[in-house]
Amino acid sequence: MYRPKGVKIVKINTNYFGELEVDENEILEFEKGMLGFEELKKFVIIKDSEIFIEWLQSVEDTTSFAIMDPFVADKNYSFELPDKIMEQLDIKSKEDVMIRTVVIIPEDITKIRTNLQAPIIINTKLKKATQIILDDSYPIRYEFYDKAGV
């Protein structure tokens, strides 16, 4: 397989996709880990072109989270990014920010939901990320099956 010069490939094991090779430059660094998984610091996003769900896959073990663009679930979703998060992630431009939320996919797909209270903020340029907690005016369990048209 052809690899551009300087690209370092890392092999990771996943529960859903088996062993994968990922470009080391695509690894996101979570300084404080994910909520409840603080020991895991390195993740990659695995995209599935068939659906709107992506996977936030740990590079350190087989832990993964279904994630999505929250604006697909709720086009009116918005919040101010705290200055301390802007500094922590060294965000200089809004173009460098990607927001994702964790998705729960139950057996009854009409109950699919996402956590709008704890978004994941990613500096796509520097590959730094963190999960923050917003105030409780944002729902933890936002069901969107009938709202998003996905």
Q: What is the pLDDT of residues 80-120, one digit of tens each?
A: 999 999 999 999 999 999 999 999 999 999 999 999 999 99
pLDDT value of position 4: 56
In the predicted model, is pLDDT for residue 146 greater than 90?
no
CA 39 vs. chain centroid, Å, equals 17
Task: Give, in degrees to the nearest 5, the angle at Cα 84 between 79 and 87.
Answer: 110
Q: Answer whether residue 19 shows pLDDT above 90.
A: yes
Question: Are the C-beta atoms of residues 73 and 142 closer than 8 Å to each other?
Answer: yes
Specify the pTM: 0.91
Alpha-carbon distance 90 to 7, whole Å?
24
How far is residue 112's CA from residue 73's CA, in Å, rounded to a whole number?
10
**Within 10 A of 76 (CB to CB), how many other CB atoms are there?**
5
Does 17 or 97 have the greater pLDDT score?
97
Q: Residue 6: its pLDDT value, please? A: 66
